[in-house]
A and B are shown apart, each in its own frame.
Chain A
């Protein structure tokens, strides 16, 4: 089988986090806009035979929601979505997210698109996996310029969960909610603790020996390149064409 692509490694790493037996169970996962790699991870879990319900907000045919995104937020408000993915223009060492922008409010230096549902989803979902391919000091900052959604909350604020992990193009961090700090879990091939320190704007903990993020197995690669791609082609045609060479349908 041809060489593992970075997107495939990220999808497999996300799939392992989804299936982590120490985390709350993921029976129903929702995937928002512009998230092809998290979507691939979810499909990989489903196609591996795990019973999981996937609700893809941007699926055009057969979209599971008949009341649009409002239904997603209502389900999440009740605690019926177990896992969601979030990212951010900035992510800080306390797992707070900034999707607003940099500079003065509302983003006079660089304006990001906006907070979407993050200010709600991050607090109301039992666990969130943070995902951002770009891993650089401009994205991973000590403190976000503006908080779209806070990484942790005081006890008088109702909150079901926090970040489980942060997956980037360079590594996997676990989030320790008690200490509100990230812990380096593994580095992708070609990276080291030193390179991660250089590219990360926030301080984090690390074990003495940092493992390398495993490659997807042959079975996982076969699923990603076959049935997972089949499921994704309609919603993410550009992604499927770029990563798997799948010609876009008319």
Chain B
């Protein structure tokens, strides 16, 4: 598989796509989110798998997003996600609230190719009242009264992750974040950025195979060093709390956010391109 570029990956994501992003502790491609901001993507429907963080707030602030389906949006220790909160107040995005295991379960149903899966819990939550696509039924396996939730299969059009490395065959290594395999299996297209490309085939190394997503599921990847920054990437680098806190302060206002994006998304890319 020939490496692409983050800009080319972003160009391949159509406006209005259902785009799945892992949370800040599980390898989202922030590099691809930045490239989507630069491309001026519009109308994206974001899926937090199962929650959303920095990249989602950035895309919302930049006007790329029409809808967010997620179990929470937060910047961790830096607090509430400021552009998400502002967009909810303004009513400029649709929020489809979920709960974490329901999102995992919807993806698992898609992975298996079945139309729905049951999930315990959730009954009694107001989330249900706002999810006409979720159903509560009597457990068909039980004689006793036993209500249970059914959630539909959910197939993201695109999933965007940042892996540690790709090999020449296009396999991706994500270490212990093996929940990303379910996301890869369930999504129609997996786009990845990686820190580096290594020779050989990861699936031929018994110690690395378990943390590898097979190229079967990978549409394209691009090298983007520190492409998860400011969020952590396994043991490669940590969460940049100061950077995220500075973002959270700047993004309290629309003007502050614009200035931050000009500096950290547009000017930074121009500097790298000039080098």
Contact = CB atoms under 8 A, between A and B. Distances in A.
A69 B104 contact: yes
Nearest to A234: B238
A105 B239 CA distance: 32
B221 interface: no
Given A34-B77, A114-B72, A237-B241, A153 B123 contact: yes
Nearest to A66: B176
Given A66-B176, A120-B99, A120-B121, A114 B70 contact: yes
A150 interface: yes
B1 interface: no
Contacts of A58: 25
Contacts, number: 143
A100 B182 CA distance: 27
A153 B136 CA distance: 15
B85 A111 contact: yes
Nearest to B142: A158
B97 interface: yes
Interface stretch (A70-78, A173-181, A223-231): A70-78
A70 B77 contact: no
Interface string A37-69: 000000000000000000001101101011111
Contacts of A157: 123-124, 147
B179 A67 contact: yes
Interface in B209-263: 232, 235, 238-239, 241
A149 interface: yes
Contact of A120 (B25, B76, B101): B101
Interface stretch (B12-20, B34-42, B88-96): B88-96
Interface string B103-122: 01000000000000001111
A65 B51 CA distance: 17
A60 B24 CA distance: 12
A60 B68 CA distance: 27
B8 to A, nearest CB: 29
Contact of A124 (B25, B74, B120, B179): B120
Contacts of A158: 120, 146-148
Contacts of B88: 101, 106-108, 111
A25 interface: no
A70 B104 contact: yes
B44 to A, nearest CB: 18
A97 to B, nearest CB: 9
Contact of A116 (B72, B122, B124): B72
B127 A68 contact: no
B100 A69 contact: yes
Nearest to A107: B88
Nearest to A60: B232
A117 interface: yes
24 contacts: A34-B76, A60-B235, A61-B235, A67-B179, A68-B26, A69-B50, A71-B179, A77-B101, A100-B126, A108-B88, A108-B91, A114-B72, A115-B72, A117-B71, A119-B122, A119-B125, A120-B101, A120-B120, A121-B121, A124-B120, A147-B124, A149-B124, A156-B147, A158-B148
Q: Which 3 A-B residue pairs are closest in the complex by CB-CB distance?
A: A114-B72, A150-B124, A68-B179
